[in-house]
Amino acid sequence: MDKIKKVVLAYSGGLDTSIIIPWLKENYDGCEVIAMAADLGQGEELSGLEERAIGTGASKLYIEDLKEELVNEFIIPCLKANAVYEGKYLLGTSFARPIIAKRLVEIAAKENADAIAHGCTGKGNDQVRFELGIKAFAPGMKIIAPWRLWDIKSRDEEIDYAIEKNIPIKLTRETNYSKDRNLWHLSHEGLDLEDPANEPMYDKILELSVSPEKAPDEPTYVTLSFEKGIPTKIDGVEYSPVEIIQKLNELGGKNGIGIVDLVENRLVGMKSRGVYETPGGTILYYAHKEIESLCLDRETAHYKELVSVKFGELVYFGQWYTPLREALSAFVDKTQETVTGEVKLKLYKGNILTAGITSPYSLYSEEIATFGEDEVYDQKDAEGFINLFGLPIAVKAKLIDKK
């Protein structure tokens, strides 16, 4: 192994990073391990983290509160872009990794560390997201990825290693789902979910939500206010974006909103299956698209759909700190200048229904769109429009007739 005196480890306190601390010390000649945990809104998962990190051999633990940064610098830009990966995944893990990578680099510089380590597997997307983020700020930094180096081949073998080294862990082989939680979402992978033929055991795995069957029998109404594409109020009460997500998580979770069973195409080439809980985020994405339906003209709205797909891919692939992502964000920000107004939603047993949209910048004209009599639209004009719009079709049809 290379001579490494000091390593900064991206630390969660889960199975992977718990065993990585002693592994690093064993394989890099007793190097100092400094752990860094990002507080991204995972709540009770941070409880007792310092004791666990120090107990397994870390010299210190940084717990960095990055919730505001995560929401304002990553989630809000993705929301404004309507960025989704493969039509279903709201990027909860994806946009959390670049912010962690950036802070790892900052702490490594502060501590004069020789390397940064992470617990991502060689099969996953997160190894790419972390390492591209590190390269963006410290291109010469040594990166240690134990899953690509050690002899451990499975999570069962990780548990064996933890038992051998007397490392306390909070799971068993039967409950060993791979999870990622932050303010935005909670993901579940592994065990029975590895077979797409298996229906998820929702009552067993859901933590942020209830299944639609267990949601209330009466609908819940909620009104969201937006200013330039950014959510600002719930039912007329102003909250910070962080508070809005927290409150909508509670509201959406109670109504079974935002549960997704997804088979996705990973960046490394394989397909994987997981269950995602994103109650508040699902409500926000739905409401944002509804207010845009009033405020964006057709050409901008349609082109923005193309940008949304590319934006989602960039985030999923870990390419946040790239010129293209920055350029797309500039385009998106321009489109949001008039995305202001209110959306009333009806939440019912996993469904979101629109109950009303208003905006001072609405492009919808009842006077023009009405089925009743009007004095602003001359229907005779449609004939000339159709003749010109259909001219290429007519010309081709005449050519075919000559053959």
Residue numbers annotated as active site: 16, 97, 126, 178
The verdict on whether residue 94 carries a ligand-binding annotation is yes
Q: What is the largest CA-CA distance in the chain?
A: 86
The verdict on whether residue 83 carries a ligand-binding annotation is no
The verdict on whether residue 126 carries a ligand-binding annotation is yes
Say how many residues make up the chain.
403
Place of tokens 């109950």: 355
The verdict on whether residue 362 carries a ligand-binding annotation is no
Give the Cα separation of 316 and 241 in Å (integer).
22
The verdict on whether residue 15 carries a ligand-binding annotation is yes
Give the Cα separation of 396 and 13 in Å (integer).
67
The verdict on whether residue 13 carries a ligand-binding annotation is yes
> CA geometry: angle at 258 spanning 255 and 259, to 5°?
100
Take residue 1 and report the two structure tokens written for it. 């192994």
Eight-state DSSP code of residue 199: P
The verdict on whether residue 280 carries a ligand-binding annotation is no
User: Which residues pair with residue 274 across a beta bridge?
Assistant: 189, 262
Of 130, 115, 127, nearest in space to 32 by CA:
115
Is 159:167 a contact under the CB 8 Å cutoff?
Answer: no
Place of tokens 């053959």: 403
The verdict on whether residue 314 carries a ligand-binding annotation is no
Coil, strand or helix at 160: helix
Give the Cα separation of 209 and 188 in Å (integer).
13
Coil, strand or helix at 198: coil
The verdict on whether residue 17 carries a ligand-binding annotation is yes
The verdict on whether residue 181 carries a ligand-binding annotation is no
The verdict on whether residue 178 carries a ligand-binding annotation is yes
The verdict on whether residue 187 carries a ligand-binding annotation is yes
DSSP string, 124-166: SSHHHHHHHHHHHH-TT-EEE-GGGTSS--SHHHHHHHHHHTT
The verdict on whether residue 11 carries a ligand-binding annotation is yes
The verdict on whether residue 108 carries a ligand-binding annotation is no
Binding residues for L-citrulline: 89, 94, 125, 129, 178, 187, 264, 276
Q: Which residues are annotated as a binding site for ATP?
A: 10-18, 38, 119
Residue list for the binding site for L-aspartate: 121, 125-126
| Binding-site annotation: residue ranges | 10-18, 38, 89, 94, 119, 121, 125-126, 129, 178, 187, 264, 276
